[in-house]
Amino acid sequence: MSMNKQEVTTKRQKMEIKVHSLGRVEGDLDVKVAVEDGVVVDAWTEATMFRGFEMILKGKDPQAGLIVTPRICGICGGSHLTKAVYALDTAWSTEVPPNATLIRNIAQAAETIQSIPRWFYALFAIGLTHRNYASSKLYDEVVRRWAPFEGEHYEAGVVVSAKPVEIYAIFGGQWPHSSFMVPGGVVSAPTLSDITRSISILEYYRETWLEKILLGCSVERWLENKTWTDVLAWLDEKPEHRDSDLGLFIRYSMEIGLDKYGAGPGRYLAMGNFFHPQKYRYPTIEGRNVALIARSGVFDGKAYHDFDQARVREDHTHSFYRGGGSFHPFEGVTDPIDPTEGQKEGKYTWAKAPRYDLPGIGEISLEVGPLARQVIAGRPGAEEWQDYDPLFLNIINEIGPSVMVRVLARLHEAAKYYLRMREWLRQIDLHEKFYVKPKELPEGRGFGATEAARGALADWIQIKDGKIENYQVVTPTAWNIGPRDRHGQRGPIETAMIGVPVKNPEDPVELAHIAQSYDSCLVCTVHAYDAKSHKELAKYEVIKI
Amino acid sequence: MANLLWMHGGACNGNTQSFLNAEEPTVIDLVTDFGINILYHHSLSMEFGDQVRRLYDQILNDEIPLDIFVVEGTIIQGPNGTGHYDMLMDRPKKDWIWEFAHKAQYVVAIGDCACWGGIPATKPNPSESIGLQYLKGERGGFLGSQFRSKAGLPVINIPGCPAHPDWVTQILVAVATGRVEDVLLDDLQRPQTFFKTFTQTGCTRVQYFEWKEPVEEFGQGTRKGCLFYEQGCRGPMTHSPCNRILWNRQSSKTRAGMPCIGCTEPQFPFFDLAPGTVFKTQKVLGSIPKEVPQGSDPLSYSVHAAMARAVAPKWAKEDMFVP
């Protein structure tokens, strides 16, 4: 103990920074970090807003989740609808005709390929124009392309992001916030021009942005890259590659060090998405994994494991809900308390801490999102209809995860999803069914999951006496920004902050890059406190000792 | 040049996402061509940290004039009126919103949540959410029924879940270009230019409505028919231009085959989503719709409907939206 005291008194370089509103889109996220000698040594993520959707759903019509859950997040509304409908399909044992599965796949992918340019230009890349990097020789080019509102590609990227969701609107009426997926299929029955127009919009997206601006090559050429060495060779292959936005991003990241920090836990979860139209005709919880096109799975840093929803837990020991402990979502409760009361018990956020109970190891935190999906895609043993893609497993083995790698995984998916959407549009049979009317059972339990752009998203529903008995939603943002659990294990973003060098504590743009790389950050409001005068520091030291 | 501050309360960011889908003008045009100076928007601005805090202080100290204050999301008052369920910079966000609303020339509520409380205010309203000047259909809301912004107007309500980007951009352009006197508001403070017509106005299914031919079921069944009779469509009772100004330039929910759920009206979500109300027409005597087009009543409506069905032409029973 005396050693520790010594440490505290000699190190005067300690300070605590509260980064306000490092927000996710729906509400805000504050991140509190302790900085010692210019490096982050501890972190706490604090979600600051509560709306209580799960409480609203209790006692409501079984299909209320189709209307309510998309409104949890306006960015992932289509993903919320997707998993909500599969939760009902499994609870009601519906039949989903192949056409309906194809349209659900297309809609889910459309939302994600919208999000990729919108997130990259409007939310992430503007941070790369920060004056901290003015000495980089690529800085002027970065500003010319990515500066907010004025940047040449900022405008192109934001404008093109509105295109893929036109396809969503053709099948679903509008984006965001349609509820066109219903148990047993979809409400729509497209006509020929709905298909041809969708193909044209998709081609516009590829020609004007995906190949011309992002990749600087064909989708097929980019997807030939299977290793990090391939990516480096691709960079050198042609000036068009090097000078594409992807090429510039990689070169700039390596110059300003985005490949050096923000690794996160190095453990990943994907719940998988997109179903084979024939293999998930009768959706069940047990039959889900094998019917997936983009696979589910857990990677614990060394080995792969099958995903089983029964192993998901939510720990609310440090969250503003009554009591503590860890429950499977079917047993989950949402009982909020006043944060000022909660803080006295060491609670500090509205997010619960999702965990996965790995056999033989226990409950662990896992990163979700594009990087997680692409690492899971590298697992050997895929079925013939499933995605196998070794690139990102190789990249994390070669250079380790980082802010750069996480962003790269996101951009990589634009190419993959484009190809899949083309194929699914081809497969729709206009003369076949889009819906099979289900029997609305008064009792049932369902589980539905998908991959939103930002990661695994799932619902657990219990229906009793023809109404919702319990409804629990576990979002990707919760997986990533969740707090410590009852064992004191940090959440993924908390983990990712540790060890990060902060150049200017009054303007810690590095922390913003990390949070933004998880796509849960839009707003960064920073307050730096002097170590000596700020009371919170004492709290930090107590924790440290 | 008009200074605009955008703030989100109990929000899903869906209105911002919808706004970003805008064309003619795009969000970027709004800034570069129409002189709308976005002081701060949580999703679009690069400023962060102390810069934002300083900006807020400057607005509240009258150092920077605030022309347009946009709110997306509910005002969260829980628990027990403290506002602790939604904090910004260690203060209840509701306190910031109150202060900015009283500094602004114009206050614009975008989306149902800011207008009337929306989904978060659905029973049991766990977050004690409320709209800026309404709670559901009841006037008053967070700012009170007497509230007027500095330019003398009540809150301009642009509802919808979400609001269509054009409804937002066109009103912002009208304000920024000095045409605000042309923005006439209805009795729910919505711009009449958008909310006088019905969702049904322009719906491709309106001929089936005329001859009282229903959609029998979703999917292949939507190749013909009107969603009003069985699927609970609120198109004839809801005020919006969803079928005049199409969504994402392509379609609308009713065109695609999804019943209108009335999301521009303060009662949304209707019937508080009680069992048996989602995607199902509420009926009396087993067959007559409980709610009928505005200005009609169930009895005269059913007489009219029986006659229409009896004289319907043959094509009104056939598929129209065929492959």
Closest among B257, B253, B200 to B224, alpha carbons compared = B257
Instruction: Mark the ranges of chain A whose per-residue pLDDT is less than 70.
Output: 1-13, 19-27, 520-545
Report the run of H or E that residue A245 belongs to, with start and end.
Answer: helix A245-256
Residues 178-237 of A with CB under 8 A from B: 178-180, 182, 184-192, 197
Select from B8, B84, B162 the Cβ nearest to the Cβ of A177: B162
Contacts of B125 in chain A (CB under 8 A): 56
The structure tokens 């209840």 sit at B92
Say whether residue A433 is in contact with chain B using an 8 A CB cutoff: yes
In chain B, what percentage of residues exceed pLDDT 90?
86
What distance in Å separates the CA atoms of residue A363 and residue A315, rounded to the nearest whole number? 10
What distance in Å separates the CA atoms of residue A291 and residue B179, rounded to the nearest whole number? 56
Asked if residue A470 lies in contact with residue A482, where contact means CB atoms within 8 angstroms, the answer is no
Residues in chain A: 545
Chain-chain contact of B48 with A524 (C-beta, under 8 angstroms): yes
Sorted by sequence, the CB contacts under 8 Å of residue B252 that are 6+ apart come out as A173, A174, B199, B203, B242, B243, B246
Select from B52, B120, B321 the Cβ nearest to the Cβ of A191: B321
**How many angstroms separate the CA of residue A176 from the nearest CA in chain B?**
6
Asked if residue B243 lies in contact with residue B200, where contact means CB atoms within 8 angstroms, the answer is yes
**How many angstroms separate the CA of residue A27 from the nearest CA in chain B?**
7
Count contacts between A and B (CB, < 8 Å): 290
User: Is pLDDT at B286 greater than 90 in this prediction?
Assistant: no
Bridge-based pairing state of the strands A297-299 and A268-270: antiparallel
Closest among A138, A378, A389 to A258, alpha carbons compared = A138
Grouping H, G, I as helix, E, B as strand and the rest as coil, residue A197 is: helix
Sorted by sequence, the CB contacts under 8 Å of residue B180 that are 6+ apart come out as B106, B151, B153, B174
Average pLDDT value for residue range B283-307: 90
Closest among A385, A362, A387, A383 to A373, alpha carbons compared = A387
**How many angstroms separate the CA of residue B191 from the nearest CA in chain A?**
22
Contacts of A151 in chain B (CB under 8 A): none
Asked if residue B58 lies in contact with residue B64, where contact means CB atoms within 8 angstroms, the answer is yes
Sorted by sequence, the CB contacts under 8 Å of residue A222 that are 6+ apart come out as A215, A234, A246, A412, A415
Select from B78, B273, B321 the Cβ nearest to the Cβ of A64: B273
Asked if residue A267 lies in contact with residue A367, where contact means CB atoms within 8 angstroms, the answer is yes
Q: What confidence score (pLDDT) does residue A11 get?
A: 46
Contacts of A20 in chain B (CB under 8 A): 49, 88-90
A474 has which bridge partners? A458
What distance in Å separates the CA atoms of residue A60 and residue A463, rounded to the nearest whole number? 10
**How many angstroms separate the CA of residue B240 from the nearest CA in chain A?**
14
Average pLDDT value for residue range B76-82: 97
Closest among A502, A469, A269 to A363, alpha carbons compared = A269
Select from B221, B246, B323 the Cβ nearest to the Cβ of A192: B323
In chain A, what percentage of residues exceed pLDDT 90?
82
Report the run of H or E that residue A68 belongs to, with start and end.
Answer: helix A64-68
Contacts of A71 in chain B (CB under 8 A): 12, 14, 118-119, 161
Task: Give the phi and the psi of residue A305 in degrees, each rounded to 5.
Answer: -140, 150
What distance in Å separates the CA atoms of residue B276 and residue B263, rounded to the nearest whole number? 18
Count CA atoms closer than 13 A to B204's CA, side-chain side.
17
Q: What confidence score (pLDDT) does residue A20 get?
A: 64
B75 has which bridge partners? B130
Token pair of B17 as six digits: 């996402």
**How many angstroms separate the CA of residue B77 from the nearest CA in chain A?**
10
Sorted by sequence, the CB contacts under 8 Å of residue A252 that are 6+ apart come out as A128, A133, A136, A138, A142, A258
Say whether residue A522 is in contact with chain B using an 8 A CB cutoff: yes
Most A CBs within 10 Å: which of B8, B18, B21, B32, as the mutation test of the A interface?
B21
Residues 332-351 of A with CB under 8 A from B: 336-340
Weakest-pLDDT range from A182-191, A509-518, B6-15, B166-175: A509-518
The dihedral over CA atoms of A323, A326, A331, A332, expressed in degrees to the nearest 10, equals: 60
Contacts of B279 in chain A (CB under 8 A): 63, 182
Closest among B204, B202, B235, B228 to B214, alpha carbons compared = B228
Helices (DSSP H) in A164-244: which residue ranges? 164-172, 192-205, 219-223, 228-237, 239-242
Count CA atoms closer than 13 A to B53's CA, side-chain side.
15
Chain-chain contact of A66 with B277 (C-beta, under 8 angstroms): no
Q: What is the DSSP letter of B303?
A: H
What distance in Å separates the CA atoms of residue B199 and residue B293, rounded to the nearest whole number? 11
Helices (DSSP H) in A352-482: which residue ranges? 370-376, 391-398, 403-427, 476-481
Beta carbons within 10 angstroms of residue A216's beta carbon: 23
Q: How confident is the model at residue B48 (pLDDT cuts 50, 70, 90)?
A: low
Q: What is the DSSP letter of A214?
A: I
Report the run of H or E that residue A514 belongs to, with start and end.
Answer: helix A509-517
Contacts of B22 in chain A (CB under 8 A): 162
Say whether residue A430 is in contact with chain B using an 8 A CB cutoff: yes
Query: What's this model's pTM, rounded to 2 decimal places?
Result: 0.95
Residues 285-304 of A with CB under 8 A from B: none
Select from B22, B26, B323 the Cβ nearest to the Cβ of A430: B323
Most A CBs within 10 Å: which of B253, B264, B270, as the mutation test of the A interface?
B253
Select from A62, A68, A192 the Cβ nearest to the Cβ of B119: A68
Asked if residue B204 lies in contact with residue B148, where contact means CB atoms within 8 angstroms, the answer is no
Say whether residue A66 is in contact with chain B using an 8 A CB cutoff: yes
What distance in Å separates the CA atoms of residue B135 and residue B290, rounded to the nearest whole number? 25
Say whether residue A120 is in contact with chain B using an 8 A CB cutoff: no
What distance in Å separates the CA atoms of residue A332 and residue A338, rounded to the nearest whole number? 19
Please, what is the end-to-end C-alpha distance for chain A in angstroms?
7
Sorted by sequence, the CB contacts under 8 Å of residue A94 that are 6+ apart come out as A88, A183, A184, A282, A283, A436, A438
Residues in chain B: 323
Amino acid at B262: G
Most B CBs within 10 Å: which of A33, A46, A56, as the mutation test of the B interface?
A56
Select from A72, A158, A191 the Cβ nearest to the Cβ of B12: A72
**How many angstroms separate the CA of residue B270 from the nearest CA in chain A?**
11
Q: How far is CA A333 from the centre of its chain?
A: 24
Select from A149, A165, A192 the Cβ nearest to the Cβ of B31: A149
What distance in Å separates the CA atoms of residue A218 and residue A143, rounded to the nearest whole number? 26
Select from B48, B218, B276 the Cβ nearest to the Cβ of A185: B218
Asked if residue A437 lies in contact with residue A330, where contact means CB atoms within 8 angstroms, the answer is no
Q: Model ipTM?
A: 0.97
